[in-house]
Amino acid sequence: MDPLEQLCEVAASFFQRGYAFGSTGNLSLVLGDSVWITPTGGSLRNLTPDRMARIDFDGNPLNGNKASKEFPFHLAAYKGAGSRARALVHLHCTYSVALSCLDTLDEAEPLPVFTPYYLMRVAPLAVLPYFRPGSADLASAVGASAVDHDSMLLRNHGVICLGSTLEEAVDRTEELEETAKLWFLTRSEKLRLLTSAERADIEKTFRKR
């Protein structure tokens, strides 16, 4: 499948499953020497490749479509991550945003490790301070975090997940949202967490890099 068609299909799937709503969320792909990103003000529900915006790594437009206002943090993330990242998903999915709004959030370990898949696909999860959407400060924070993190929780905002492929970024995003959902559903229960030995075994067997 053409990469832009795949991105539009993924975007529509996010919308249909409730991961995105209204005109929220944006996705991007690095293709060659440019970045293709979802357009500003558009819903993920009905994107088509001809509506995607193409920009260079300095943010200059390369076609007639206007990029999402969040394009600065997409570019900053790619620069911070280097060749490790070729796709980015940013969503305001319900449980992850709820997590980001908790005043009592443990920023060192924002989610307990109770499944191996969270450890394999998401952790470590960086928690970034609140910045106004679209601001230069947000882009700077994302760029710095992307040096060491593929998963980020933006305070009072949403999630950013990077991937070497679009599929990897999507899997990471879905795993993060579902883990946040599980945590809210079980937070009043006594949970069995993975032991340090079990976590070490996962890290050794499925070392991400």
DSSP 100-135: HT-TT--TTSSS---SHHHHHHT-SEEEEPP--TT-
Alpha-carbon gap, residue 41 to 47, rounded angstroms: 11
Confidence of residue 188 (pLDDT cuts 50, 70, 90): confident
Which residue in the list 70, 174, 175, 177 is annotated as catalytic?
70
Sign, Cα dihedral of 104, 105, 108, 114: positive
117 given a catalytic annotation: yes
Q: Do residues 4 and 36 make contact, with C-beta atoms less than 8 angstroms apart?
A: yes
Cα 155 versus chain centre, distance: 13
Tokens 């970024």 belong to 169
pTM of the model: 0.93
Alpha-carbon gap, residue 150 to 122, rounded angstroms: 7
Which structural domains are found in the chain, ordered by start? Answer: 3-205 (3.40.225.10)
Which ranges constitute the DSSP H helices of 28-84?
A: 71-81
Q: Which two tokens stand for residue 132?
A: 């106004």
- Judge if the upstream peptide bond of residue 61 is cis by omega within 30 degrees of 0: no
Q: Do residues 66 and 123 make contact, with C-beta atoms less than 8 angstroms apart?
A: no
70 given a catalytic annotation: yes
Residue 34 pairs in a beta bridge with 31
Confidence of residue 42 (pLDDT cuts 50, 70, 90): confident
Q: Chain-wide mean pLDDT for the chain?
A: 95
Per-residue pLDDT reduced to its tens digit, 118-175: 999 999 999 999 999 999 999 999 999 999 999 999 999 999 999 999 999 999 999 9
For residues 42-60, give the mean pLDDT: 95
pLDDT of residue 62: 96
Which residue in the list 5, 9, 117, 203 is annotated as catalytic?
117
Hey, what amino acid is at 20? Answer: A
